[in-house]
């Protein structure tokens, strides 16, 4: 048995979903407002950096807010682009992707602005992703296809991940995202995805060196034919494994999974009756994982 970083699945899920745990926040944070909406949470040290742009931000000990002119989607986007580009040049924001993501006060609500993906953790903004659990059967037993992230990834390099997972980019729906990522990350053809739809929603939140990671993950399940072998197409996966359920659980408890992927996997085990309602941890896991 592998050395466990987490005592059990509840301990792991509390680490991945601190918003729902009984633990206090690991770091003090102040809310970040766009118009009347709190769209992020800032470390006080990062909020202090924003004081350099008094024409764009109002910063107090209790909150920070964007004061863009013009106060439009384009104006707010331009203001944050100016600030984040400067902070990137200074090395505060790293892993620049040239990938804007949409920011709103709620998923599918009217867009407030767009911001470079690499900056979202610094601002503690809610991100949205689509993940897919790749199940199969071997000798009648359920197995999970698991991906190992490439060592070159800017976030969580070399960690274990769901078979498919990706951020929902501007202009994409959840369904479009999962189908695009399914091909890029695992070579899953459209024919195998027929009938696949969002099965659940998981919320994760945890401290990271940059600030706060917050994400809503739309989870999908796909039972793959026993003879199907996924193949990565975009170079973002170093290796693919087919693990038994006990092996997958041990890898989660050993800390080998990303917190996001581990949470999505635990959610799938609940939904697919691998963990039964009579399990003493069942209801606590359900509570922790939900938005």
Contacts of 156 (CB under 8 A, 6+ apart): 149, 258
Tally of structural domains, the chain: 2
CATH for 221: 3.90.79.10
Residue 85 falls in which region: left (phi positive, over 0), alpha (psi -120 to 50) or beta: alpha
* Residue 99, domain extent: 30-124
The pLDDT mean for the chain works out to 94
Q: Are residues 47 and 98 in the same domain?
A: yes
pLDDT band of 22, cuts 50, 70, 90:
low
**Tokens 């924001």, residue?**
93
| Domain's final residue, options 75, 102, 124 | 124
In a domain, 252, yes or no: yes
CA distance 203 to 194: 26
In a domain, 198, yes or no: yes
Contacts of 243 (CB under 8 A, 6+ apart): 143, 144, 146, 251
In a domain, 229, yes or no: yes
In a domain, 179, yes or no: yes
Q: Are residues 138 and 120 in the same domain?
A: no
Q: Are residues 52 and 185 in the same domain?
A: no
Q: Are residues 15 and 151 in the same domain?
A: yes
Q: Are residues 76 and 168 in the same domain?
A: no
Q: Are residues 182 and 265 in the same domain?
A: yes
Q: Are residues 214 and 104 in the same domain?
A: no
CATH for 94: 3.30.750.160
The predicted pLDDT at position 28 comes to: 83
Contact 265, 253 (CB under 8 A): no
Q: Are residues 150 and 278 in the same domain?
A: yes
Closest CA to 93 of 108, 83, 106: 83
State percent of the chain over pLDDT 90: 90
Q: Are residues 17 and 132 in the same domain?
A: yes
CA distance 114 to 110: 12
Burial class from Cβ neighbours inside 10 Å (0-12, 13-18, 19+) for residue 8 reads middle
| Domain's final residue, options 124, 140, 169 | 124
The predicted pLDDT at position 20 comes to: 84
In a domain, 191, yes or no: yes
CA distance 120 to 127: 8
Q: Are residues 134 and 114 in the same domain?
A: no
Contact 80, 42 (CB under 8 A): no
**Tokens 């006080």, residue?**
44
In a domain, 3, yes or no: no
Q: Are residues 178 and 38 in the same domain?
A: no
* pTM of the predicted model as reported, rounded to 2 decimal places: 0.94
pLDDT band of 26, cuts 50, 70, 90:
low
Closest CA to 242 of 143, 139, 165, 137: 143
Residues 157-180: tens digit of each pLDDT: 999 999 999 999 888 999 999 999
Closest CA to 129 of 194, 93, 173: 173
In a domain, 1, yes or no: no
State percent of the chain over pLDDT 70: 98
Q: Are residues 15 and 141 in the same domain?
A: yes
Residues 191-247: tens digit of each pLDDT: 999 999 999 999 999 999 999 999 999 999 999 999 999 999 999 999 999 999 999
Structure tokens belonging to residue 193: 């995805």
In a domain, 200, yes or no: yes
Could you give the dihedral angle defined by the CA atoms of residues 134, 136, 138 and 143, in that order, rounded to the nearest 10 degrees?
40
| Domain's final residue, options 124, 155, 173 | 124
């Amino acid at each position: 048995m592998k050395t466990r970083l987490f005592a059990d699945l509840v301990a792991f899920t509390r680490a991945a979903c601190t918003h729902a745990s009984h633990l206090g926040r690991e770091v003090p944070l102040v809310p970040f407002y766009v118009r009347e909406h709190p769209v992020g949470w800032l470390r006080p040290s990062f909020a202090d950096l924003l004081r350099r742009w008094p024409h764009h931000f109002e910063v107090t000990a209790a909150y920070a807010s964007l004061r863009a002119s013009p106060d439009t989607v384009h104006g707010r986007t331009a203001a944050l682009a100016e600030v984040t580009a400067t902070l990137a040049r200074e090395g505060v924001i790293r892993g620049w992707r040239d990938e804007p993501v949409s920011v709103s006060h709620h998923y599918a609500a009217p867009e407030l602005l767009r911001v470079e993906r690499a900056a979202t953790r610094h601002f503690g903004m809610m991100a949205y992703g689509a993940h897919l659990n790749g199940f199969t059967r071997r000798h009648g037993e359920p197995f999970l296809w698991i991906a190992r992230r490439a060592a070159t990834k800017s976030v969580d390099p070399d960690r274990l991940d769901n078979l498919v997972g990706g951020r929902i980019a501007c202009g994409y729906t959840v369904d479009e995202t999962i189908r695009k990522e399914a091909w890029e990350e695992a070579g899953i053809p459209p024919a195998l995805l027929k009938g696949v739809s969002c099965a659940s929603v998981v919320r994760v939140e945890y401290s990271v060196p940059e600030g706060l990671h917050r994400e809503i993950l739309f989870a999908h399940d796909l039972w793959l034919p026993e003879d199907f072998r996924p193949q990565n197409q975009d170079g973002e996966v170093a290796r693919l494994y087919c693990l038994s359920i006990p092996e997958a659980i041990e890898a989660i408890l050993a800390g080998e999974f990303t917190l996001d992927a581990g949470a999505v996997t635990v959610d799938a085990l609940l939904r697919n009756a691998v963990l039964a309602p009579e399990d003493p941890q069942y209801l606590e896991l359900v509570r922790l994982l939900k938005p």
